[in-house]
Structure 1
Amino acid sequence: MKFRFPAALNIAALLLTSLQAVAQTPEAAAPAKAAGMSSQQIMFWVLISLLIFLLLVLLLSFVGIAVQMRPQLRKVYELPTVRHSWSGRVLGLLVGDATLVKGEVRDELLDHDYDGIHEFDNDLPPWWKYSFYATIIFAVTYVGYYHVAQAGQLQGAEYETEMRQAALLVSPDADDPNKLTTYQPLATPADLSEGKSLFASNCAACHGQNAEGKVGPNLTDEYWLHGGEVNHVYKTVKFGVTSKGMVAWKGKLSGKQILQVSSYILSLQGTKPAGAKEPQGEKETAGKPVVKL
């Protein structure tokens, strides 16, 4: 098996020249435009493919030369002045000796044993030590870059930046959790009655029949975890708070029904039901809907 590297280069050069000539002809340019690629893009990918081809040729040539010269390389490797040198260990990889990676195993027992268990005096394999050294270099570089020079963002700051960028991409419509609505509390008896029915069938299991609080917080006092104004309550009911077990009622209740429930909740302010749960959150006086009879 003989590889002629100059001949391979000549073939590659002729191939490149012919491809350039083909790419410049109108017949070749028409399919390129039809496919949406310019002639420069075609030439780029042709050159990349040619580079990969040349690298494969070089690799095959190197392997072929190493295989043909393996007996001569073995004789050079067996020389005492070569075998134990760094270049000799690299040469050993070509002739099948992986000492550079695996290390040398010495069957030498240490002069102590524990319950009949003997210990060999072997070093750690080079691949393990190289990996350990790489982790040390990485750790020093990481600390210097992020903590000393402060050239990069830590995970917390990076997360906040990504969240701010994501907020800019959210569509500003009614389904945007970052955009607060501008509703007014419903105050008619019909709306509050409907809100009461919806509350009893959907919310009472967690907040109690009188909103005194069970698993969820008490909704009749002046303390709120996520805001006590009607639009904050509306947002909490619609989108939920999954981290605290509050489910999102979006898709289960209509916008009108969510506003009716929110208005009914605000109408319960100051009712002081029996067995009310202790206050949670921050104090906030919410405007109660005024029922117009």
Structure 2
Amino acid sequence: MLTHRKMNYGALAAMLALSIGTTVAQTAEATTPTPAAGGQDAQIMLFWFLLSTLALVLMVFVLLFTMIIVRMKPQLRKVYELPTVHDTWSGKVLGLLIGDTRLVTGGYKEEDMGHSYDGITEFDNDLPPWWKYGFYFTIVFAVAYMGYYHVANAGELQIAEYETEMRQAALLVSNEPDDPNKLTTYTALMAPADLSAGKSIYATNCAPCHGANAEGKVGPNLTDEYWLHGGEINQVYKTIKFGVTSKGMVAWKGKLGAKQILQVSSYIESLQGSKPANAKEPQGEKATAGKSIAAK
């Protein structure tokens, strides 16, 4: 009876696999793209079709295997209970198929070691196999990791990987005029008309945070030698244009034109050393000698 069932399930599995294989071959032949009508898209579609078909074949195989195990469970249990099979490694694998988890959880000797304290008794039991297998895996992983990263130097460590990612990110930074990482090369405007326009722009947009005379309120004092973001007129231009979101400085590039930003930047530079009343305490670092205004 057992042999007959084996033959039936084996024949069914063989027929199903042959049928699927024939279908896959025919479909692959029919859908193989030609250089004229195929192209890369057709190749990708074919790849995913074959991958899906392989997954389907594996699912069918697992289903058939499970059905065979379920039907043959009584016969497998009799084989498992044989003394010559029960305690062997292959017998433990067979036991796992019919519900005995000794291969994973291990067995219990129940051998009292003679140590007892506060109602707790020590037994001589082995560690669970799953724990030991996991421990062995960590050893193998550690050796492979050490060899790959520190002996062969085939992989990048954290710092090198970070530097590589930063270089890759730099390649993606825009080179357009609105690139916040690209410093301009302007010089301060000295014409009275430009400074007057800058003063008007400052009074309308900047005075609420920096004070009417740039003495500093919510924002820093713009008339002393100390600056938060370093640089000269172009640094001021950059700070006004792109802002400093983390410190509440808004970006003015969508509200002021390039010339207007340069005018107000030049006006701020002209206020250096004016020492207004009620000036806010210095913030940041002192400007380097020989350099012009730095951005607040």
TM (norm. structure 1) is: 0.73
Note the alpha carbon deviations across 1:63-84, whole angstroms, 9 max, x for none. 2221222112212222344334
Name the structure 2 match of 1:15.
23
Matched position secondary structure for 2:60: helix
* Pairing partner for 1:232 from 230, 235, 238: 235
Note the alpha carbon deviations across 1:242-287, whole angstroms, 9 max, x for none. 4555443333444333223211221122223454533633533444
Matched position secondary structure for 2:117: strand
Matched position secondary structure for 1:179: coil
State the distance in 2 between where 1:128 and 1:204 align.
68
Please tell me whether the aligned partners of residues 210 and 219 of structure 2 are also in contact (alpha carbons under 8 angstroms).
yes
Q: For the structure 1 residues 86 and 264, does the alpha-carbon distance in structure 2 shift closer, same or farther, using more than 3 Å as the test?
A: farther
State the distance in 2 between where 1:155 and 1:214 align.
43
Name the structure 1 match of 2:188.
185
Runs (4+) of structure 1 moved beyond 6 Å? Answer: 105-110
Q: CA deviation at 1:102?
A: 3.6
Task: Identify unmatched segments of 5+ residues in structure 2.
Answer: none
Please tell me whether the aligned partners of residues 180 and 231 of structure 1 are also in contact (alpha carbons under 8 angstroms).
yes
State the distance in 2 between where 1:205 and 1:134 align.
64
State the distance in 1 between where 2:29 and 2:140 align.
50
Note the alpha carbon deviations across 1:101-142, whole angstroms, 9 max, x for none. 3444688996112xxx75775766544554455445445544
Matched position secondary structure for 2:116: strand
Q: For the structure 1 residues 215 and 138, does the alpha-carbon distance in structure 2 shift closer, same or farther, using more than 3 Å as the test?
A: farther
Matched position secondary structure for 1:59: helix
State the distance in 2 between where 1:199 and 1:105 align.
83
- Counterparts of residues 1-293 of structure 1 (less than 5 Å): 2-3=8-9, 4=11, 5-20=13-28, 22-23=30-31, 33=37, 37-38=41-42, 40-41=43-44, 43-104=46-107, 111-113=116-118, 118=120, 125-135=128-138, 137-147=140-150, 149-200=152-203, 202-204=205-207, 207-213=210-216, 216-274=219-277, 275-278=279-282, 280-281=284-285, 283-284=287-288, 285-287=290-292
- One-letter code aligned to 1:264: Y
Q: CA deviation at 1:190?
A: 4.1
Q: For the structure 1 residues 152 and 206, does the alpha-carbon distance in structure 2 shift closer, same or farther, using more than 3 Å as the test?
A: farther
Task: Identify unmatched segments of 5+ residues in structure 1.
Answer: 289-293
State the distance in 2 between where 1:148 and 1:205 align.
61
Q: For the structure 1 residues 154 and 18, does the alpha-carbon distance in structure 2 shift closer, same or farther, using more than 3 Å as the test?
A: closer
State the distance in 2 between where 1:62 and 1:106 align.
34
State the distance in 2 between where 1:250 and 1:78 align.
82
Matched position secondary structure for 1:111: strand
Note the alpha carbon deviations across 1:1-31, whole angstroms, 9 max, x for none. 843233223323432443255447xxx98xx
Please tell me whether the aligned partners of residues 183 and 231 of structure 1 are also in contact (alpha carbons under 8 angstroms).
yes
Matched position secondary structure for 1:269: coil
- Of stretches 99-108 and 191-200 in structure 1, the one that deviates more from structure 2 is 99-108
RMSD: 3.8
State the distance in 2 between where 1:124 and 1:206 align.
68
- One-letter code aligned to 2:285: G
Q: CA deviation at 1:206?
A: 5.1
Q: Percent identity?
A: 59
- One-letter code aligned to 1:182: T
Q: For the structure 1 residues 9 and 125, does the alpha-carbon distance in structure 2 shift closer, same or farther, using more than 3 Å as the test?
A: same
State the distance in 1 between where 2:203 and 2:122 align.
75
Please tell me whether the aligned partners of residues 212 and 277 of structure 1 are also in contact (alpha carbons under 8 angstroms).
no
State the distance in 2 between where 1:42 and 1:276 align.
67
TM (norm. structure 2) is: 0.73
Q: For the structure 1 residues 189 and 53, does the alpha-carbon distance in structure 2 shift closer, same or farther, using more than 3 Å as the test?
A: same
